[in-house]
Structure 1
Amino acid sequence: MNDRILMSSPDVGELEETYLLNAFRSGWIAPLGPDVDAFEREVADRVGVAHAAALSSGTAALHLGLLCLGVKPGDVVITSTMTFAATANAITYTGARPYFVDSELESGNLDPALLEHALGELRAAGETVSAIVPVDLLGKAADYTRILPIAEAFGVPVLADAAEALGASHAGKQAGAFGAASAISFNGNKIMTTSGGGMLLTDDAELVARVRYLATQARQPAVHYEHTEIGYNYRLSNLLAAVGRAQLTRLDGMMARRRAIRDRYRSLLASVDGVEIFGGADDRDDNCWLTSVVVDPAVTGWTAADLSAALGAANIESRPLWKPMHLQPVFAGAQSMLNGNAQRLFETGVTLPSGSALSDADVDRTIDCAARFVEERR
């Protein structure tokens, strides 16, 4: 049996090892330190915002961002149904209720028209909507050109979930630079990684100061340990920040590698009716974190699940697109505004190996397997 080909394994090497060893030998082993400070500056400069707070995860960034925007128990927070559970989980950590809005079919991102409709209905019902959390799905930024004016008209702040989209852009502006604040992730499978970790980005100095305070157990400036409110252990390790600094220097190259892999899939599927690259009709501003395809079984005669099974039999990892949050048992009964697109994408999409660490041989093997499957099903 061939070695397993993974979808998006960490892309690390000698440069990351050097940065990590330098941080280790500096003596800054505990959380915080000069690499955390430098990492925050470097990411903020890359994205084009004034401030950044390095945290233990993207989920932590979402949680603290919501708290600092004033989200309270019983409030409603609107988010995309097409996302990973962390987005909705962070909302529930605050005691607020997630309200799920469906997707645009082409991108899978939050549908601005449905968002506006949902805000109108919630206002008419007397609900307090305290935040909107758009999600930049699979490295494609949401349509902030339409979302932000709607949010402003209703007086609701936007916290952008850019966990998957570092390096992507929209309308000439980097993902992570939209809204009152944004959250990004450095989890092991992301476009760049610190093993685990995340960051909150903002132009608001008071907000980022509040995030840092809450992330360090809400400790008061006293010689002893003094606490006047509940805090969290959410800061990033200095050692992991060093890994992130090395990764950031390689980000453009890693995105280019992922795009090259996507282009190979695109070439493979160009002559296959009923199959298209998800979001690929306009992906020039994407970071190409993951490449998925959408299958129309009425045209192909086979399903996304059939393709996934064939890849799995060859020890090649694939998976469906995110299962929408409104279909998750844990959120059964949550309010939502649906058009069916997210469920359709979940049922017809499959994500292929996309990581920048994939070797040419890995990509060749994946494409050969997919090509054989397509030819056998013609």
Structure 2
Amino acid sequence: MRSQDYDRIFLSPPHLGRHELNYLHKAIEDNWVAPAGPNLDGFERDICEFTGAGHCVALTSGTAAIHLGLRLLGVGPGDEVLCPSFTFVATANPIVYLGAKPVFVDSEADTWNICPQRLREAIEDRIQQGRKPKALILVHLYGMPAKVQEVLEVTAEFEIPVLEDAAEALGSRYNGQPLGTFGAVGVFSFNGNKILTTSGGGALVTNNSEWAQKARFWATQAKDPAPYYQHSDIGYNYRLSNLLAGIGRGQMELLEDRVKKRREIHQWYKINLQTVPSLTISQTEPTGGRSNRWLTTVILDPIQTDTTPEQLRLHLESHNIESRPLWKPLHLQPLFAAAPMYGGSVCEELFTNGLCLPSGSALTEADLNRIAAATKAVIRSKEAQ
């Protein structure tokens, strides 16, 4: 069969229900289509209720939320911000927006998130050079909780504030507490491929009421309280629209079911691909951690097989199945070639040997069987070869 004879299986497509239409219709009927309105207020309340955060500011993207969050932490020109290398570029770009510089840190091999030991090494070395980092961006990669307690112990010791990038981790928990609520500021993304989507959007959460007020002020062009347009501070056009917030409200009603489904898909892969030579369903939940399993990831052991992740990706593509390489470490990106890096071997090996499999919550049993069959057909052990 040709690839076009199959329906396309996407990596992580949006999965909408019918709830979203109720909020959208109401917004249109009431003419609330601006970046303000009942859906926006309600969506922020929903996020606070779900996460336990004191305050939420819904924004146009997770990137915008990181940008505002770093600014709230006082990051500015010439500062240094600690950041895992193994993450999407949107984590680090806002550092540069503010004229600051990223300092990259390697992953640990269990959760793939920032390594607490390497983090300590980076902080001590930067302090020795007279450049104490201004903040840490703590990422929960692919929805997997980092080793939160160990990381926070290090940052507390050196009094470095934490911005928690939980863009991929809404619905994940650590010791029962929702991710995004451990740092001084937390960030979520509602991009089209996320576990909850507003087509495009994000949110900033914090327990600091003054910071939430400031973030909302900046996100609406920093308009001073005057009867005319007066601006004493730089601002941005970052507020989420009331229409998109309506989609978010409908999605919030389905979030727990979506997390359950993604975890079931991860477990299905783990059981049904366990006999594939050299392939491991990867990322281990830390003690006390519960991942939303936004994406299921695999590692191919080059010692056991000559099949590469790229060969697997292309083979899946020939069957009209989308998969994706793991994030290319940021210290290997031309954009950040001059940035300091502490460690590197762990995230480099993960990038070389890993792949993301389709993980959308609407996947059927037939879809999963098709993915598994295509995967098994291409991977061979070296002994068999």
What TM-score results when the alignment is normalised by the length of structure 2?
Answer: 0.95
Q: What is the 5 A alignment of 1:1-378?
A: 1=4, 2-280=6-284, 285-374=290-379, 378=384
Q: Distance in 1 between matches of 2:344 and 2:337?
A: 17
User: What are the superposed Cα offsets for residues 206-251 of structure 1, whole Å, 9 maximum, x if unpaired?
Assistant: 1111100100100011111110011000000001001001101101
Q: Secondary structure at the match of 1:300?
A: coil
Cα distance in 2 for residues equivalent to 1:142 and 1:220? 39
The letter of the residue matching 1:320 is P
- Distance in 2 between the 1:296 and 1:331 partners? 29
Contact 1:292 1:350 in 2 (8 A): yes
Distance of 1:153 and 1:240 partners within structure 2: 41
C-alpha separation in 1, matches of 2:54 and 2:286: 29
Aligned residues: 378
Question: In the TM superposition, what whole-angstrom CA distance separates every residue of 1:285-313 from its partner, at most 9, and x where no partner exists?
Answer: 00010001011021133222222121011
Deviations 1:161-196 (A, max 9, x none): 000000001122111111101111000000110010
> 1:76–1:127: 8 Å Cα contact kept in structure 2?
yes
Q: Shift of the alpha carbon at 1:282?
A: 5.7
- Residue type at the aligned position of 1:158: V
Alignment partners' CA distance in 2, 1:241 and 1:281: 31
Q: Distance in 2 between matches of 1:282 and 1:121?
A: 27
State the secondary structure of the residue aligned to 1:129: coil
Aligned counterparts of 1:376 and 1:131: Cα–Cα separation in 2? 45
- Mapped to 1, the partners of 2:7 and 2:183 lie a distance apart of 43
Gaps of 5+ in 1: none
Q: Is the CA contact 2:144–2:285 (under 8 Å) kept in the aligned structure 1? A: no
CA contact (8 A) 2:96 2:102 kept: yes
Work out the CA distance in 1 between the residues paired with 2:306 and 2:98: 46
CA RMSD of aligned residues (A): 1.5
CA contact (8 A) 2:145 2:286 kept: no
Structure 1 position 125, deviation (Å): 0.4
Q: CA–CA distance in 2 between the matches of 1:24 and 1:362? A: 36
The question of whether the paired residues in 1 share the 8 Å contact of 2:278 and 2:381 is answered with no
Render the CA deviation track for 1:326-358: whole Å, top value 9, x for unaligned.
000111111111141001000000000001122
- What letter is aligned with 1:205? S
SS in 2 for 1:228: coil
Task: Provide the TM-score with structure 1 as the length reference.
Answer: 0.97
Aligned-pair CA distance for 1:375: 6.5
Tell me which amino acid in the other structure corresponds to 2:232: T
Any idea what SS the aligned residue of 2:205 has? strand
Distance 1:100 1:54 in 2: 28
- What is the rounded CA distance, in whole Å, between the counterparts of 1:328 and 1:255 in structure 2? 32
| C-alpha contact 2:85 2:347 (8 A) present in aligned 1 | yes
